[in-house]
Amino acid sequence: MPNPLLDDRTVDFLLYEVFDVERLTELPAFREHSQETFDLYLGACRKLARERLFPSYRAIDETPPRLENGRVKVHPLLRELYPRMAELGLLNATRPESVGGQQLPAAVASLSNAYLMAANLSAYAYAGLTSSAARLIESFGSESLRDEYMQRMYGGEWTGTMALTEPQAGSSLSDVNTRATPTSGSHHLMSGSKIFISGGDQDLTENIVHMVLARIDGAPPGVKGISLFVVPARRQEGDRLVPNDTAAAGVIHKIGWKGIPSIALNLGEGGDCHGYLVGQPHRGLSYMFQMMNEARLMVGLNGVSTASVAYQEALEYAKTRPQGRPLRNKNPEAPQIPLIEHADVRRMLLRQKAIVEGGLALLCYASREQDLAEHAPTAEERREHQLLLDLLTPVAKSFPAERGFESNTLSVQVHGGYGYSSEYLPEAWLRDQKLNSLHEGTTGIQSIDLLGRKVSIEGGLAVELLGREIARAVGDARAASVNAGWCDAVEKAFASTRDVTRHLSSLGSPEATLLHSVDYLELFSTTIIGWMWLLQAAAARRALAKRPEDAARYEGRLCAAQYFIVTELPRVELLAALCRSGEDSYARAEPDWF
């Protein structure tokens, strides 16, 4: 069987049975839509992913981008794939008709895009980055920037990038020091060096539009002096495009995502790099954060998708590879049994399923929150959905990155010695996955965002809203006759999460509050995914009552729910005790004690 990338029935189950996304069509923003239009888009993405993107994956992974005579060359197959994605309307699928979009709910678009990511993460990345960059111009750019850049980007003509990081600054954006010098014209003159710019050069499209963070001469130090600029690789002069003094200084030899180059980008070495201010001066970081939050959800989806395709590969391998004999009957003359008959192999598969589908449920939930934060009827509702979305974003970004990496590791392990060879694909997905704990804010940074900011906004309102949602889920699960022990466990995990949140927030110093921030993120994430599995268990129970003929898959969901809730959720208590204890081993360790 060819790898399905994601399990279609799981995606349909999440969209229509767990999260009722067809109800979004009751909102004015989505009233042109129906389950049919959702399925049409979903079907088109599935088809493109399976027929074009996935068959190109291995070739692209084997031939990384290279720098030749100052220009980056990517795998030629990408020149065929990128226009296909643009044709699908992918780049502005969720945007309004006024900018040429289909105004699809983010929930539907996300789960559709997941197929493309699972098929070919780096091919998709051009689209994801371009879409985010264009969205920034749509939200904050002037009319002329929208006309000149946004439309060409949404149309697939030009790609976009995010140029934040600099070599000396890394994750510390307050140290950005690319300069923007005002001129008498409409542009600034840019100069500086950026690094890790994905898609920062390529030979797919005639132009590339960099969204650049820079400091206008005389701007205040730190994050309050950062502005956002559009810096095209080639700028319009009269009726032609001329080079805009941006140069690829080097290609990073990434270990995965081989289809898209990550480059060191120099701006203005010749003193002739034009940048166009987006929005107000010194507001760049706040603009970028809109994009960044969406980018973090995209990274979460990358993580889930990369874990999913590897899980599907391991599942097929385990079903078809004969290996060993049952514990009870080792008769060497009996035929060997498939790997999946061994309990520990099933454990590894069920763990992958719990991570992949638990993560996918969270991404589906979070993107529905995006839809509601933007389009719910009242301002109060929109505000609440936004708060909940903001709270869940660090989890939706980091859980798939961290546990997804574990899941990818298990896919290698299920393949045994073959998994250690590049003749099989699991090792490639393992390499791809590793980036997700690093880019768009490392896991450590996500933990500080969650515990240092998100849980305390408006006096902790988001956590209360979360509590309301979890209580509702527990009520629904009990009504659907889900195992009472699981309901109790999720209720208890949330209570511990809330209590430890209050305790840590009350400690009075950021060092004390944040000392165990990554342990806290893990605790919080485990509770969230436990909740996601309770939601799925309730929907599976309801479905089993209605359609017992489809029992197999629903029983499988109940097994995965059981696995996660019984095996993983108890770790919340342990982590809560650890966070409360203020265990200080690494707090007190001096550098020369290592």
> In terms of C-beta density within 10 A (0-12 exposed, 13-18 middle, 19 or more buried), how is residue 581 classed?
exposed
| 402 classed as catalytic | no
Sequence letter at residue 306:
T
Residues written for the chain: 594
Applying the rule CB under 8 A, the residues between 444 and 483 that interact with its own copies are 444, 447-448
Question: How many Cα atoms within 13 Å fall on the side-chain side of residue 104?
Answer: 26
32 binds its own copies (CB under 8 A): no
> Near its own copies by CB under 8 A, which window of 103-111, 239-247, 248-256, 362-370?
248-256
Q: Which is nearer to its own copies, 9 or 234 (CB)?
A: 9
583 binds its own copies (CB under 8 A): yes
In angstroms, what is the minimal distance from the CB of 130 to its own copies? Answer: 21
249 binds its own copies (CB under 8 A): no
Contacts of 185 (CB under 8 A, 6+ apart): none
Instruction: Indicate left, alpha or beta for 20 from its phi (over 0: left) and psi (-120 to 50: alpha).
Output: left
Instruction: Indicate left, alpha or beta for 207 from its phi (over 0: left) and psi (-120 to 50: alpha).
Output: beta
Q: Which is nearer to its own copies, 380 or 590 (CB)?
A: 590
**CA-based nearest residue to 494, from 573, 376, 436, 581:** 573
Task: Name which position in 55, 221, 243, 475 contacts its own copies (CB under 8 A).
Answer: 221
Applying the rule CB under 8 A, the residues between 501 and 520 that interact with its own copies are 509-511, 514-515, 517-518
Applying the rule CB under 8 A, the residues between 369 and 408 that interact with its own copies are 405
The residue behind tokens 């896919």 is 411
In angstroms, what is the minimal distance from the CB of 586 to its own copies? Answer: 4
Euclidean distance between CA atoms 238 and 393, whole angstroms: 44
In angstroms, what is the minimal distance from the CB of 361 to its own copies? Answer: 16
In angstroms, what is the minimal distance from the CB of 118 to its own copies? Answer: 16
Question: Which pair of structure tokens corresponds to residue 527?
Answer: 């509770």
Query: Which run of H or E residues covers position 161?
Result: strand 159-163
Contacts of 85 (CB under 8 A, 6+ apart): 48, 91, 116, 123, 124, 126, 127, 156
Report residue 81: phi and psi, to 5°. -75, -40
Strands 240-243 and 71-73, bridge-based pairing: unpaired
Task: Name which position in 35, 413, 456, 505 contacts its own copies (CB under 8 A).
Answer: 413
Contacts of residues 168-173 at CB distance under 8 Å and 24 or more positions apart, as own/partner, are 171/441, 171/442, 171/445, 173/213, 173/223, 173/226, 173/285
> Near its own copies by CB under 8 A, which window of 264-272, 378-386, 439-447, 466-474?
439-447
Contact 92, 131 (CB under 8 A): yes
437 binds its own copies (CB under 8 A): yes
In angstroms, what is the minimal distance from the CB of 581 to its own copies? Answer: 7
User: Quick one: how far is CA 345 from the chain centroid?
Assistant: 28
Euclidean distance between CA atoms 267 and 229, whole angstroms: 12
> Near its own copies by CB under 8 A, which window of 80-88, 364-372, 376-384, 434-442?
434-442
Euclidean distance between CA atoms 394 and 224, whole angstroms: 23
Task: Name which position in 3, 205, 443, 496 contacts its own copies (CB under 8 A).
Answer: 443
Report residue 457: phi and psi, to 5°. -60, 135
Applying the rule CB under 8 A, the residues between 532 and 561 that interact with its own copies are 552-553, 555-556, 559-560
59 binds its own copies (CB under 8 A): no
In angstroms, what is the minimal distance from the CB of 406 to its own copies? Answer: 9
Q: Which is nearer to its own copies, 10 or 305 (CB)?
A: 10
Applying the rule CB under 8 A, the residues between 93 and 132 that interact with its own copies are none
Give the single-character DSSP code of 481. Answer: T
Catalytic member of 427, 440, 491, 568: 440
Applying the rule CB under 8 A, the residues between 297 and 336 that interact with its own copies are 315, 319, 321-325, 327-328, 330-333, 336
Give the single-character DSSP code of 552. Answer: H
Q: Which is nearer to its own copies, 3 or 102 (CB)?
A: 3
**What does each C-alpha distance from 58 to 86, 293, 436, 467, 517 come to in angstroms?**
22, 30, 20, 44, 38
Binding pattern for the stretch 149-168 against its own copies, x by CB under 8 A and - elsewhere: ----------------x--x
Coil/strand/helix, residue 216: strand
In angstroms, what is the minimal distance from the CB of 327 to its own copies? Answer: 4
> Near its own copies by CB under 8 A, which window of 12-20, 96-104, 472-480, 579-587?
579-587
Report residue 192: phi and psi, to 5°. 160, 180
Q: Which is nearer to its own copies, 226 or 277 (CB)?
A: 226
β partners of residue 214? 227
Q: Which is nearer to its own copies, 45 or 425 (CB)?
A: 425
Q: How big is the site for its own copies, counted in residues (CB under 8 A)? A: 100
186 binds its own copies (CB under 8 A): no
586 binds its own copies (CB under 8 A): yes
In angstroms, what is the minimal distance from the CB of 136 to its own copies? Answer: 22
Contact 454, 462 (CB under 8 A): yes
In angstroms, what is the minimal distance from the CB of 326 to its own copies? Answer: 8
Applying the rule CB under 8 A, the residues between 339 and 368 that interact with its own copies are 340, 342-347, 349-350, 353
Give the single-character DSSP code of 283. Answer: -
184 binds its own copies (CB under 8 A): no
Q: Which is nearer to its own copies, 24 or 349 (CB)?
A: 349
Applying the rule CB under 8 A, the residues between 190 and 209 that interact with its own copies are 195-196
Task: Name which position in 242, 471, 545, 566 contacts its own copies (CB under 8 A).
Answer: 566
In angstroms, what is the minimal distance from the CB of 342 to its own copies? Answer: 7
The sign of the torsion formed by the CA atoms of 366, 368, 372, 374 equals positive
Residue positions annotated with a catalytic role: 440
